[in-house]
Structure 1
Amino acid sequence: MNLSMISASVTMGQLQRKMDTLSHNMANSNTTGFKRREATFSDLLFQQVNNNTDTRYETGRLTPNGIRVGAGAKIAQTALRMEQGAIMQTGRELDFAIAERDHFFEVESVENGQATSYLTRDGSFYLSEDPQNPNALTIVNAKGDFLLDGGGNRFTLPMNFSEIKLSATGELEAILNDGTTQDLGQLQLIRVLKPHLLEAAGDSGFKIPDLAGLGFAEADVFEQVAGDEGRLIQSSLEASNVNIGQEMTELVNTQRHYQFNARALSMADEMNGLINGIRR
């Protein structure tokens, strides 16, 4: 296999990864709180092939002597883009839209008796029976995972409530049937200072990796902030930040680049066939 075939085949594999990323973005264009990813490329190793030149014929030349032969391109990184999505009013008391970038809800998942937490910007929550108190309710997401308050605890609501309100300071309050108000706890957000460290956990969720192994302190990566009215909007949801038109244009361009490299691979194969068919 010659160098032209190597360069084309390697680049085609990386372009396929970019098309997968674009397709993933487009498939989640209607997913609440989804954040798109963007793939960027860099050159692989290359070598400079120089030839013995006759300086008499190099007068006025602007390009360097020889030829630069590369081995294709690779995806340098797939960056998480945290631009704010559109805010949509829903009218549901348990819908909360985050109005600040790099802020997330903390949600607790229980699997095989083990409780683990993850971050999400999907603010669509529901009421479910509290497994620790059958006479009370708790707040969960669509997967049944528990929303956590400022102390890392689950919210507990009485059965006899008529309304849930978010105060200006980020406190959740339940209006009971008798008109009294019961404080449910502080609705907390996690501000991630280095969002590029987040690891995808599925369903628009993210987990924080082992910071000690990466050489980071927790204070350098995230902090807890109150979900006050400047950061949260009740009865609303944040839409995905995917722009279908932009993603479709990028997908078409990527497909064209893929076709060009496929054609280069085919032409190199044809040339090899011609060379092999030469007879003395």
Structure 2
Amino acid sequence: MNMGQLLSISKSGLTGYQNYLDVISNNIANVDTKGFKDKRVAFQELLNNGTYENEVGLSDNAQPLAMNTGVNIQQVNENEAQGALQEASGVYNVAIEGDGYFGVRDANNNLYLTRDGSFYRDSQGNLVNQNGYQVDVQSQLPASQWPTTGAVSISQQGYVSIGNTRVGRILMYRPENSIDMNAVGNNLYQCTGNLISSANTNNGFGIIHQGMLENSNVDMADSMSNLIITQRAYQLNARALQTTDEMMETINKFTE
């Protein structure tokens, strides 16, 4: 292993821990975001580099040795644990207890998934989220014809009634394979694989609670501990990089 490879190892550590700090910072920033899921980072070693007798002293009984060439973030995983449910005053505020997601659509009819059930009716009567995306509702009446008076009730299966009139059903979704879920920002996800809808089955989604919202599942104490540990690991990699650079400078002086 040459000195350049040592620099490369330290660089990979700095890059990996910087990305980890970004993930932790994002978790902390969203500690109060409704329905936010904590992100976890998994590291992996990069390819091993063989170590030979011309590089280090090895005993006759030494087994083949190798040193890894750094680290890399293998994947960022979602912590799917249920967030605590908290009472919310709006009649269209809802939370899922279980594995399902609400569906919302943008102006181009692209479907996104979210756990944030902070919904309300806009000026056209459509049920929308805080970004103005229309909530996926299996309608029995067009939104413009929903009654303007009467108590609003939403059942655990998502059926919406106003007074004595059932107007539709808030649909729930879940991916057939959880690895197909991709975060796209604004507390939204897109699924690249098959989606299962509650329009076809009631199994595996959980139940809906009206007048409740799901809190973030970020553990603030755990996140702050990880932040401190990761900052120190980053500093150690920076110190190793500096030391390697100083060693190279000293070697260059001997070769002049």
The C-alpha deviation readout for 1:192-243, integer Å capped at 9, x for no partner, is 232221122221111122x4xxxxxx3xx5343559x961111000000111
1:139 and 1:156 in contact (8 A); partners too: no
Q: CA deviation at 1:169?
A: 4.4
2:175, 2:191 within 8 Å by CA — same for their partners in 1?
Answer: no
Taking a change above 3 Å as real, the CA distance of residues 279 and 2 of structure 1, as seen in their structure-2 partners, is closer
CA contact (8 A) 1:165 1:173 kept: yes
Corresponding position: 1:98 with 2:86: no
**Does the 8 Å contact 1:148/1:154 carry over to 2?**
no
Residue 185 of structure 2 is matched in structure 1 by 202
Match in the other structure for 2:75 = 77
Aligned counterparts of 1:279 and 1:208: Cα–Cα separation in 2? 58
Identity %: 27
What CA RMSD, in Å, does the superposition of the two structures yield over aligned residues?
A: 2.6
Match of residue 107 from structure 1: 104
1:222 and 2:196 matched? yes
Q: TM-score, normalised by structure 1?
A: 0.81
List structure 1 segments (4+ residues) > 4 angstroms apart after TM superposition. Answer: 151-157
Counterparts of 2:156 and 2:249, CA distance in 1:
74
- What are structure 2's unaligned runs of at least 5 residues? none
Distance 1:230 1:80, change over 3 A: closer
Secondary structure of 1:9's aligned partner? helix
Instruction: Give the superposition deviation at 1:5.
Output: 1.3
Change (3 A) 1:230 1:48: closer
In structure 2, relative to structure 1, the CA distance for the partners of 1:195 and 1:182 (3 Å cut) is same
Q: Normalized against structure 2, the TM-score is what?
A: 0.88
Q: Gaps (5+ residues) in structure 1?
A: 59-63, 131-136, 176-180, 212-217
- Name the CA distance, whole Å, in 1 between partners of 2:68 and 2:213: 47
Tell me: CA distance 1:65–1:76, structure 2 relative to 1, closer, same or farther (3 Å): same
- CA gap of 1:262–1:147, structure 2 versus 1, over 3 A, is same
Q: Choose 1 or 2 for highest CA Rg.
A: 1
Q: 2:130 aligns with which of 116, 119, 142?
A: 142
* Whole-angstrom CA distance in 2 between matches of 1:159 and 1:153: 10
TM-aligned CA deviation for residue 70 of structure 1: 2.3
SS of residue in 2 equivalent to 1:184:
strand
